[in-house]
Amino acid sequence: MDIVQHFPSLDHAVLRNAIARVVRDTDVLALIDLILESGAGVLADEYDMVYFPGDDLFSIYRPRGLPIGNLTSQFWSNVYMDALDRFVVNDLGCRSYLRYVDDFALFSESKHELWAWKREIVDFLASLRLTAHSGLCPGATGEGRNSVVGICWSIRRIDAKAAQSGELFSPVCGQYHAVSGTRISFAELDASVRGSIMCGMPTRGAARRDV
């Protein structure tokens, strides 16, 4: 599943409340307010108005949207979506769950359970003033080749998308061949790959839950 118009949809009041539950310093909150206000309306042309229960005609004027280029936007997006992470893991009890910015996946051996989770997630997202694209990932059946959170996978194999894998892993490809030629140890290769992953993931706002 993924969020419709994710960055343009992020509601400033919802985000501000989430941040204020953790950040109590008034000066820091004032700075956060300035940054939020500077991005209000920047992505208005990319947002299609959605009315949620309890809204009135003035809801269209609610400040929303995080400029994708801001250094704070990726982090604040994860702060915003933390409520969804907790809901999926703690309330739904899903033990196999991952999320990459606005793209997320739940895994279960029961298609009935997946559809039930989807209905509950849609309702929960409404409380965050977000909507999700309809339908389940075709991979819910384990059939065919699918793309979820930057990963192309089928029941038999998992690959990173071509562009992402080339960008992320090209520095260590030569080291793989070095292992084959015994010029470096497998432990050195393993450390290099782990370092590439840890350096590459945060730049795109990745988040995940281990249960």
Domain residue ranges in the chain = 6-153, 161-208
Mean pLDDT of 48-57: 93
Mean pLDDT of 121-147: 75
Mean pLDDT of 183-200: 60
List own/partner pairs for 200-205 with CB under 8 A and 24 or more apart: 200/167, 200/168, 204/74, 204/100, 204/101, 204/150, 205/74, 205/75, 205/77, 205/78, 205/100, 205/101
Q: Residue 177: its pLDDT value, please? A: 55
| Contact status, residue 16 vs residue 36, Cβ threshold 8 Å | yes
Which H or E run includes 153?
strand 151-153
3-state secondary structure of 210: coil
| Contact status, residue 168 vs residue 204, Cβ threshold 8 Å | no
User: Does residue 169 carry a pLDDT above 80?
Assistant: no
Provide the pLDDT confidence category of residue 161 given band limits of 50, 70 and 90.
low
| Contact status, residue 138 vs residue 144, Cβ threshold 8 Å | yes
Q: What is the pTM of this model?
A: 0.68
pLDDT tens-digit readout, 58-72: 999 999 999 988 889
pLDDT tens-digit readout, 33-46: 999 998 888 888 89
CA dist., res. 164 & res. 169, Å (int): 8
